[in-house]
Amino acid sequence: MELSHSHIGMVVSYPCEIRGGKYISCGKNTFLGPNGILSAWDSFQGEKYKPKITIGDNVTIGMNFHISAINRISIGDNVLTGKGITIIDNGHGKTTLEDLQIAPKSRKLFVYGSVSIGKNVWIGDKVTIVGNVNIGEGAVIGSNSVVTKDVPPFSVCGGVPAKIIKQL
C-alpha cells in the first residue's frame, strides 16, 4: 500500500498491514515494527470519514502496534514507542442501551476526537491512547497505561486510567 507521503529512510517491517495509505504520511527515518496495523478508514457501514494520520521524523513504533483513525492522529518527531501500543480516535458505537443491543462489528463508528502526540515523547509497552487526547512534548507514558486525558509537556504518567506521576 502506498502512503500519501513518505521519506527516504522509512522502514516498514514485514509483516505490517497498512490500510488507507493515501491518508497517511510518514517522515524521514521512521520505523514501523513487524505485525503492526496502521489504518485510516474513509468509510465504514455506509458512513464517510476524512481520516489523516501524520507521523513525524525519526519515529520508532515497536512491534504489534495498532493505529486506527477515522479523524486525526498526529505523532511528532522523535517519538519512541514500546511493543503492543494502541492509538485510536474511534470506537464501535457509543455506550447507549440502543447501541449495546447491536453486535459491536455492526455498530457505526464513533469519533472520540483527534489524538496529538508531541515531539520527543516516550510511550512504554502496551499503552493504549484513545481519542480526544493531547500528549505534550517530552512526556513519558508508563507501560500498560490507558491514556484518556491530556498529558502536559515534560510529565510522567501511568496507570489505568493514566494519571500524572511527575511534572517538570
**Active-site residue set:** 92
SS3 (DSSP) at 23: helix
CA atoms within 13 A on the CB side of 124: 13
Which H/E stretch holds residue 157?
strand 155-158
Neighbours of 10 (CB within 10 A): 17
Q: What share of the chain is helix, strand, coil (3-state, %, to 5)?
A: 5, 40, 50
Side-by-side strand order, sheet with 60-61: 11-12, 31-32, 60-61, 80-81, 122-123, 140-141, 155-158, 163-167
